[in-house]
Amino acid sequence: MFKIIKKDSGTKARLGLLTTKNGTIETPVFMPVGTIGTVKSLSPFEIYGEGFKIMLSNAYHLFLRPGTDVIEKFGSLRKFTGYGGSILTDSGGFQIFSLAKFAKIKNGGVEFMSHIDGETHFFTPERVIEIQKILDSDIMMQLDVFSGHGVKKERAEKDLDTTLRWAEKSIEAKKTGVFNRRTERKTGTGNEARYEAEKDNLLFLITQGNFFEDLREKSARIMSGLDADGYAIGGLAVGETKETMLEMLGISASNLPETKPRYIMGVGTPADIVKAVALGIDMFDCVLPTRNARNGFVFTSRGTVNIKNSVYKSETLPIDPECSCFCCKNFGAAYVRHAFMSREIFSQRLLTVHNLHFYQNLIMQIRKSIENGNFYEFYKNYD
Amino acid sequence: MFKIIKKDSGTKARLGLLTTKNGTIETPVFMPVGTIGTVKSLSPFEIYGEGFKIMLSNAYHLFLRPGTDVIEKFGSLRKFTGYGGSILTDSGGFQIFSLAKFAKIKNGGVEFMSHIDGETHFFTPERVIEIQKILDSDIMMQLDVFSGHGVKKERAEKDLDTTLRWAEKSIEAKKTGVFNRRTERKTGTGNEARYEAEKDNLLFLITQGNFFEDLREKSARIMSGLDADGYAIGGLAVGETKETMLEMLGISASNLPETKPRYIMGVGTPADIVKAVALGIDMFDCVLPTRNARNGFVFTSRGTVNIKNSVYKSETLPIDPECSCFCCKNFGAAYVRHAFMSREIFSQRLLTVHNLHFYQNLIMQIRKSIENGNFYEFYKNYD
């Protein structure tokens, strides 16, 4: 399922191949964020065409809208969205504890109020696995508890213990839970369909521990003993300093099994990614390239620039003359700026494609330098 | 420049070929609206790929933003936008008299306040031609006066007389005005470059006359005597009844020369288009397919539907199973609805492509029925 191709000698970076039911993904990998099944402004074909063989969606959002019953009719989230690659679905633990109007842990689960319509729902770790089986996610994530930045240790440990209990329950649910695929498939090949799902839908646990070294270590060590397909590091990049983030990340990563993929959730800037790869992280997702694009912030080989900047007003050259993305190959910066200033949706598409291309290019450079044995230099010189 | 291929026997419909400096366009033709150089949400390649060989932009909007100096640096609006087809630019007469904060006719032109930043500008018919030469529009439109629905005849006639004077001045400006192409071309081949432009940038006049039969006739008759490459019918579809619109359109059209293309500005619904073709109209533009798309209104073979309609909530079939557009070929209606309800930009792209495809398909059916000699039946049965 996960094969390490090469380990870097100067850092903990590694090259790997992660095989899901829908394809084999080279790692390190960046997953564009398509929360509700769409990477904002782009078509699934554009995402796949840019070389992204895996994207991120969110089970919490999809459960609330359009509802799992709708996606079940299509057979899978993949069929619903038309995306040709693999899909990792976040459980929604983070969203429940940050977005929902309230969230109360009780009776082996969490009661929360939808951020969309105020309706009350109850999620257990088992139910969240069931939802992700219906979505037929290539990689399912366990339900976890997100404590937020700045909580006391007592609270952080209590939440961690809940997350650890839910990790075990998730693994059990993956193996034994009802598999709720669309009716015709359930009727037709009943038990076999369930067995397939058990084998194929990978499950990642989410290590937590807030900003306490021993809790981070405890989380990673205990979870390492559980039968997971991979491990995420959650609860970071939520307001702490970069130093703290990297310190916590290092502790989590170094206490996880060498042989399993490691995924840092919601990180980060290009520099964060390079540093995290050096700490042994294999998988990334972040809204930064896509959200920044929609706000006019553009990643270029000369740093981040704002498309509104008047230097672009009459610029016939592309935003980044060294870039080979759809935007830079076809349009002068002045056109992109004009479309952006005129609030044309198309400018958001162009900048989104550009920023994602920049991230993909960064990942390619990282992979290449690990392969060539000079990642340490790349890492040292990157800022 | 304009060649009539076939005339319908039962109506005034005709098939034609309109040649601009950038291509030959089959008529009747529908031109998607790309006011500022972008058909909202789509790339110029998608527009061209859907078979639209000509689009509409607006000189008034482009003059205000990004400014003609910016576009001049690219060489032409076509190069600025990357669109591979021909571009017709409206002069902005309609926009000045409807959008601008004030518009005052004086000294051979119109003073108006920008709807964007409140700055005051002065347009003469000559200046508007000059702007469109800089844009290097395939088809330039004269500056006209739009009087609005419900004005008294005296006012309508005064405005028409101004429009008629401006028509003559526009024709003169096309022939003699300064040609302000980018510097290197002007220096390099000076007079020849100007000559090329005189020959290549087509100029259409805009017949007016408000909602008075004799003024409509007067406008068309006088303009027919001027040396224009084509004729638009302006000032319609602005609040009057369908009957009045078609009546005025018929008067304008029947008093224009047979041998020149006729273009009804800003019209209309599919049924309007079929009726106008029967009255001898060759060219159309309208925001309806694109604007409706962004608001969730979808043209289908079964009529107009709202994508929000709950019948689509779990619909795995496309919005229109008979449609072969990018949206209907690749996505179930429930996915499009979900993306629309979640305010995803991508849903606006999908619906825009679909609605434009519907219009393109309508135009193809119209052309085919004229070719096959059964347009009258098509027209009679269309509602």
Question: Which two three-digit tokens encode residue A61?
Answer: 């959002």
ipTM: 0.93
Nearest 5°: the CA angle B142, B143, B147 is 125
Taking only the tens place, the pLDDT of each residue in A245-296 is: 999 999 999 999 999 999 999 999 999 999 999 999 999 999 999 999 999 9
Q: What is the pLDDT averaged over residues A121-131?
A: 95
Averaged confidence pLDDT in chain B: 93
Give chain A positions within 8 Å (CB) of B313. 66, 70
pLDDT at A197 over 60: no
B280 part of contact set with chain A, CB < 8 Å? no
B53 part of contact set with chain A, CB < 8 Å? no
CA distance A273 to chain B (A): 27
Question: Which two three-digit tokens encode residue A192?
Answer: 């076999």
- Residue B66 is nearest to which of A41, A313, A349, comparing CB atoms? A313
CB within 8 Å of A173: residues ≥ 6 apart: A125, A126, A129, A130
Give chain B positions within 8 Å (CB) of A45. 330
Which amino acid does the sequence have at A143?
A: L
Query: Which regions of chain B carry the CATH code 3.20.20.105?
Result: 2-286
Residue B200 is predicted with a pLDDT of 80
Confidence of residue B196 (pLDDT cuts 50, 70, 90): very low
Q: What is the pLDDT averaged over residues B34-53?
A: 97
The residue of chain B with its CA nearest to that of A336 is B81
Question: Which two three-digit tokens encode residue A205?
Answer: 């646990």
CA distance B341 to chain A (A): 9
More confident of the two residues B118 and B216:
B216
Taking only the tens place, the pLDDT of each residue in B248-287 is: 999 999 999 999 999 999 999 999 999 999 999 999 999 9
The residue of chain B with its CA nearest to that of A318 is B80
The residue of chain B with its CA nearest to that of A63 is B338
Taking only the tens place, the pLDDT of each residue in B6-41 is: 999 999 999 999 999 999 999 999 999 999 999 999
Chain A from 302 to 341: CB within 8 A of any B CB: 313-314, 316, 330-332, 334-335, 337-339, 341
Which of A136, A229, A285, A320 is the catalytic position? A285
pLDDT at B184 over 70: no
> pTM to 2 decimals?
0.94
Give chain A positions within 8 Å (CB) of B45. 330
Say whether B40 and A344 touch across the interface (CB within 8 A): yes
Residue A200 is predicted with a pLDDT of 80
Confidence of residue A189 (pLDDT cuts 50, 70, 90): very low
CA–CA gap between residue A121 and residue A299 (Å, rounded) = 39
Q: Which CATH architecture fits B2-286? A: Alpha-Beta Barrel (3.20)
Residue B101 is predicted with a pLDDT of 79
Confidence of residue B154 (pLDDT cuts 50, 70, 90): very high
Confidence of residue B60 (pLDDT cuts 50, 70, 90): very high
Distances (CA, A) of A267 to A3, A206, A249, A283, B55: 23, 14, 11, 10, 42
CA–CA gap between residue B173 and residue B182 (Å, rounded) = 19
CA–CA gap between residue B56 and residue B207 (Å, rounded) = 18
pLDDT at B376 over 50: yes
pLDDT at B197 over 90: no
Inter-chain Cβ pairs, chain A and chain B, closer than 8 A: 106
CA–CA gap between residue B231 and residue B224 (Å, rounded) = 8
Instruction: Tell me, yes or no, if A136 is annotated catalytic.
Output: no
Instruction: Tell me, yes or no, if A90 is annotated catalytic.
Output: yes
Confidence of residue B383 (pLDDT cuts 50, 70, 90): confident
**H or E segment and range at residue B297:** strand B297-300
Say whether B339 and A38 touch across the interface (CB within 8 A): yes
CA-based R_g, chain A, Å: 21
Residue B198 is predicted with a pLDDT of 44
Say whether A345 and B40 touch across the interface (CB within 8 A): yes
Give chain B positions within 8 Å (CB) of A349. 41, 43, 345, 349
Q: Where are the beta strands (DSSP E) in chain A?
A: 2-7, 14-20, 23-27, 29-31, 54-58, 86-90, 103-106, 109-113, 120-123, 139-141, 202-207, 230-233, 262-264, 283-285, 297-300, 303-306
Residue A29 is predicted with a pLDDT of 98
CA distance A289 to chain B (A): 16
pLDDT at A180 over 50: no
Strand B14-20 relative to strand B2-7, pairing: antiparallel
- Residue B82 is nearest to which of A38, A330, A344, comparing CB atoms? A330
Tell me the three state secondary structure of residue B140.
strand
Q: What is the pLDDT averaged over residues A136-142?
A: 97
CA distance A206 to chain B (A): 27
Question: Of B4, B11, B3, B5, which Cα lies nearest the Cα of B374?
Answer: B11
Residue A99 is predicted with a pLDDT of 82
Q: Which residues of B are catalytic?
A: 90, 285
Q: Measure the N-to-C terminal CA separation of chain A; round to a whole number of Å.
A: 33
CA distance B338 to chain A (A): 6
| C-alpha dihedral sign at A261, A262, A267, A272 | negative
Say whether A36 and B339 touch across the interface (CB within 8 A): yes
A82 part of contact set with chain B, CB < 8 Å? yes
Say whether B345 and A41 touch across the interface (CB within 8 A): yes
Which amino acid does the sequence have at B105?
A: I
User: Is it true that the peptide bond before B261 is cis, omega within 30 degrees of 0?
Assistant: no
Q: What is the pLDDT averaged over residues B221-235?
A: 97
Taking only the tens place, the pLDDT of each residue in B234-247 is: 999 999 999 999 99
Say whether B36 and A313 touch across the interface (CB within 8 A): no
Confidence of residue B99 (pLDDT cuts 50, 70, 90): confident
Residue A177 is predicted with a pLDDT of 60
CA distance B97 to chain A (A): 21
